[in-house]
Amino acid sequence: ELSELDDSFKNLLAARDSVQSQLEDIAESLRDKSEGIDGSQESLQQVEDRLATLEDLGRKYGQGDVERVFDRQVELEAELQSLNNYSNRIKELTVEVGRAGQQYNRLAEKLSIKRQAMAPRLTERLEVLLGELAMENARCEFRFVQKESESGITERGVDQCELYLAPNEGEEARPLAKIASGGELSRIMLALKTAACSDEAGKTLVFDEVDAGIGGRVADVVGRRLRGLGERFQVLCVTHLPQIAVYGSGQIEIRKAVAKGRTSTNAVVVSGSDRVDAIATMMGTGRTTAQNLRNADEMLKGAKE
């Protein structure tokens, strides 16, 4: 009615109608939203359980901070991706291992063939050397057996070599480790080292207790053989026998001394008359006699011939 009396009220009336229409639209939207919300007790419990789970995760993985849990999730996802990549890498490495195994088999077979081809030559050389070391009737034999391992691969090839020895004529060859005496082992070791390095130069050979189980003429023979090796190589020999010591180009005496209740060990180079004394001491029973000194001097002179 006011709009009929005053035209300015017509604008207000139009604005009212517009606002009323918008309010009706808003009300309709709110009704739609409310219909989509599950306000049941069951839904509320699910939300509370979810929050409780997040709090537990926060304490366990995020030091009480839920945000850190999500950061940890990102890290774990990255690790998972990395593990997936490892699976591919494992496949690649498996292929490489297979190829390496094939190459190993080829090389191991070549090595086995070379070993068996070299065995007769080494056997012949050993028997000659043992003959020079007063084991004239010794007969040697190398036997090969296939090694057993889970993978079939060992660092020394596919076969194992064992030295068999018949020390006397008419005896059956048996494993060296089971039948050789101390003296025989000493000479066989000397012969093996001599044969093994016959074609090499510049080596240093160390013989420890090479005199075990020998003496007299055999010790003299061993000493001469060591001197022969010393002409081609540097030879260090630990010995208690004067028959061997006299063949060295030099001699080092190991001395023990007790001072102030403590024992000390010294290595002393001996030469000239000191070496004669050292050899004489090795010959005697702890006392150096004039006869021992004369014998020691003769032995040293004889070793130079």
Identify the pLDDT of residue 13: 64
Angle at 209 between CA 204 and CA 214, to 5 degrees: 125
Average pLDDT (163-180) is 85
Both tokens of 221, joined, read: 């023979």
The pLDDT of residue 62 is: 65
Q: Where are the beta strands (DSSP E) in 91-233?
A: 139-146, 159-166, 174-175, 204-208
Please tell me which residue, 238 or 57, carries the higher pLDDT value: 238
Rounded Cα gap, residues 111 and 271, in angstroms: 47
20, part of any domain: yes
Of 187, 207, 292, 289, residue with least CA distance to 248: 207
Domain annotation covers residue 1 = yes
pLDDT bin (cut points 50, 70, 90) of residue 221 is confident
Q: Is position 91 within any domain?
A: no
The answer to whether position 176 is within a domain reads no
Residue 24 lies in a domain: yes
The 10s digit of each residue's pLDDT in 240-256 is: 899 999 999 999 999 88
How many beta carbons lie within 10 A of that of residue 157, not counting itself?
19
pLDDT, averaged across the chain: 81
26 is in which domain, residue-wise?
1-36
pLDDT given at position 189? 84
Residue 177 maps to a domain: no
- Report the domain count for the chain: 1
Rounded mean pLDDT of 55-78? Answer: 75
4-16: average pLDDT: 62
What does the pLDDT look like over 179-203, one tens digit per residue? 767 777 878 888 888 887 766 666 7
Cα–Cα distance for residue pair 178/175, rounded to 1 Å: 6
In a domain, 206, yes or no: no
